[in-house]
Amino acid sequence: MWLLSGIDLSSLGILLGGAALAGWADAVIGGGGLILIPLLMSTLPHMAPVVILASNKVAAVSGTTSAAVVMVRRTRPPALLLVRYASVAVVCSALGAFAATLVNKNIMRPIIIVLLVAVGIFVMLRPQFGLQRADNIPGQRSVRGILAVLAVGIIAGYDGIFGPGTGMFLIMAFTALLSQDFLQSAAMAKVVNTATNFGALVVFGIGGHIWWALGFSLAVANILGAQLGARTVLGGGAKLVRIALLCMVLVLAAYLSYEQLAGNFQ
């Protein structure tokens, strides 16, 4: 497990390219797992699914962390808020992971599809939403802060249970509750998403499911893609995040609908 034996150079090249693309996508809006996990499964069909998920998590944590550093340095969100949200995210994602075996994903998918469609419609009908910061009314700050913590906890728990769209939901929550633009919300979402991924990585590591050599190889490519993605977001600003968010709504809704239909016919 410590060597990349059994993977030929062409397959490794495909995986590294996919990891770089996944890192870019994760940095822009999230959803890199939709690229890399199916690629790992098709390239390494004999590998246990849990090893694929665990090894992918090494790459995801690395890339998301590197993107978070770049974006936080540029947008400079309050450090205390980041620590608070990240702490809540780690705990709630761990609880979600424990609850994952109790939840029927065939029931969750239709709910998430409806939420995704609602998010897409809301953003399309509110063309200025997330493109500029709104004024915070002093009396509402504490209430909005509490709601933001609750939202982070719920979304982190969802990430532990199911996962798809976590970064996008975090961006929407931060933008709506903290009256921020999409760019600053995206930076904060990267920090929180790093925390949820780290919690899962610890669980996988303790279970001995990680192929470290593969994970670290994918991590290098993922970091390169994430660095490019972070700079893409910072260069494109809130308008780019808005477009990426709407695209991710379409992709995720289609992907989850396909999985739901495929599961019903099995």
Whether 213 and 12 have beta carbons less than 8 Å apart is answered as: no
Distance CA 239, CA 187 (A): 15
> For position 2, what pLDDT does the model report?
46
> For position 50, what pLDDT does the model report?
81
pLDDT in tens, 138-178: 445 678 888 999 999 999 988 877 777 788 889 889 998 98
Q: What is the mean pLDDT of residues 107-113?
A: 80
Whether 57 and 196 have beta carbons less than 8 Å apart is answered as: no
> For position 135, what pLDDT does the model report?
54
Distance CA 173, CA 151 (A): 7
Q: Quickly tell me which residue has 């970064």 as its tokens.
A: 167
Nearest to 245 by CA among 149, 122, 89: 122
Highest mean pLDDT of the ranges 30-39, 76-85, 159-168? 76-85
pLDDT in tens, 222-254: 999 999 999 998 888 888 888 888 888 888 888
pLDDT in tens, 131-140: 766 555 444 5
Distance CA 202, CA 229 (A): 26
Share of the chain above pLDDT 90, in %: 28
